[in-house]
Amino acid sequence: MGPLGILASTFQIVLLQSFLDAADFNAWGWRVPFLFSIVLLFVSIKTRMNIEESPVFRELQAQDRVSKAPLRECFKDKQTLRGMALLFFCISAGGSLLFFSSQVYANVFLKSVVRLDAQLASALVMGSTLLLFPLTLYCGWLSDRIGRRPVLLAGLLLGAITIFPVFQALQHYGNPAQERFNREVAITLSGQDCDYSPFRKAASACARNQEFLTKHGVPYTRQAGAEAFVQIGSESVVRGFQPDALTAALQAQGWVAQADSTQVNRGMLFLLLIVPVLAVALITGPQTAVLAELFKARTRYTAAALPHNLSAGWIGGLSPFMVTLLSVQAGDVLAGLW
């Protein structure tokens, strides 16, 4: 999914949330974007059918030089293999990770960890996504002037250096009360069978407590013990899995279920979200040209499409799950970003 897809889906969610209450949205409203995607599927198929082959490829067809087995030819040619590896592990992997971090995980982080209003979080992400279009065009133009490599490296370095401090600052400017609570109140989690997985439902009381704390943006430390409990601060202890009692105990110590709108610095949040978007643009701007320049015409489509889509699916697509898993295991809402 590209920025246009993210923009369309986020806009639908914001629109639905403005017309539906939380109960209706959770009951059936969230299905509407998936139903609307059927229309987009037909548009995509129609667009693909109307795309003409490039003059270079048409010339190969006229000369009967089109590869009969492009996949086999790609894996037999060492130069093509090196280009595919570079694309999979560096260019597409870095771009996919940054794209999903800035467009998908940022929205989740603002809602679950920073505890922003859902509409505000989606609107902020949608606004930053709009800037991705002109920034991508500019970065593509820039790569024509100074070369692909410096622009790509700038994007990868900017993303690697800023991703952690950006998300840390999102919490600071979005919910200072929550940041203060996380810093001052120690949370201890105890119990057996505390193995969380994003792919299955939590079974034990410890795993449920672990999942609850993570979803509510609360960091914790784990303690070995047979009895399942959560200790909040030095006095309050909630035994077993009691979500209502746990919520009340957290709120008594200063945790807030939703960020105070008067304390939310919307301008700084928007500026912070632009940083990873700029990193994505520095990669996606020259990326299309790089895909064409890395490989020879007779195997270009296969050599570019295979590593690019595998990297986007395996690395980029699974990154939100991996970030969540690492954060849960570490007991720190920011740990997965490392």
Euclidean distance between CA atoms 145 and 262, whole angstroms: 45
Helix (H, G, I), strand (E, B) or coil at 264: coil
Q: How are beta strands 187-190 and 229-232 bridged, if at all?
A: antiparallel
For the chain, residues with pLDDT lower than 70 are 1-3, 5-6, 198
Structural domain that includes position 225:
186-252
Token code pair at residue 50:
């109307």
Last residue of a domain, one of 203, 224, 252: 252
36 inside domain? no
173 inside domain? yes
Number of domains in the chain: 2
**Extended strands (E) in the chain:** 187-190, 221-223, 229-232, 236-239
Last residue of a domain, one of 252, 279, 299: 252
Considering the domain architecture, whether residues 160 and 239 belong to the same structural domain is answered as no
Considering the domain architecture, whether residues 196 and 271 belong to the same structural domain is answered as no
Last residue of a domain, one of 200, 234, 252: 252
7 inside domain? no
Closest CA to 306 of 85, 94, 97: 85
Token code pair at residue 260:
């105070």
Considering the domain architecture, whether residues 74 and 152 belong to the same structural domain is answered as yes
Closest CA to 116 of 108, 105, 127: 108
Considering the domain architecture, whether residues 222 and 90 belong to the same structural domain is answered as no
The domain that holds 220 is classified in CATH as 3.40.30.10
pLDDT of residue 198: 67
Q: For the segment 138-173, what is each residue's pLDDT rounded down to a tens digit?
A: 999 999 999 999 999 999 999 999 999 999 999 999
Euclidean distance between CA atoms 134 and 137, whole angstroms: 5
pLDDT of residue 124: 93
pTM (two decimals): 0.83
9 inside domain? no
pLDDT of residue 37: 80
Considering the domain architecture, whether residues 240 and 170 belong to the same structural domain is answered as no
Closest CA to 218 of 203, 199, 231, 228: 231
Judge contact between 195 and 207, C-beta under 8 A. yes
